[in-house]
Amino acid sequence: MDIKNEHISSGLRKKRTRTLIQLGGLIEKSGLLKRMNISLGDDLQKDDDIQENVAELFGGLLTLEKIIGTEDHAPALWRESGKKEMGL
């Protein structure tokens, strides 16, 4: 692999990481972590005590993805609600 391609890959990796961190912040801000009894600092892969909670959160996100695929009006309603809560 040449240096140019490695640099691009590193840049994309940094952008991906930033996006994932921001998404985690949105999930935390939404109150879902508290509702699922998941604390900041928990290891979602290794902490056996919260595996059921993590599975529940993931199942909810999968359900949300299915809803978005079938409901054309829901995303617009959610967008307005999100903008209001974010102060936009």
Instruction: Please answer whether residues 37 and 45 qualify as being in contact, where contact means their C-beta atoms are separated by less than 8 angstroms.
Output: no
3 neighbors 10 (Cβ within 8 angstroms): no
User: pLDDT value at position 79?
Assistant: 87
- What amino acid is encoded at 76 in this protein? A
The rounded percent of the chain whose pLDDT value lies above 70 is 89
Whether this model's pTM surpasses 0.85? no
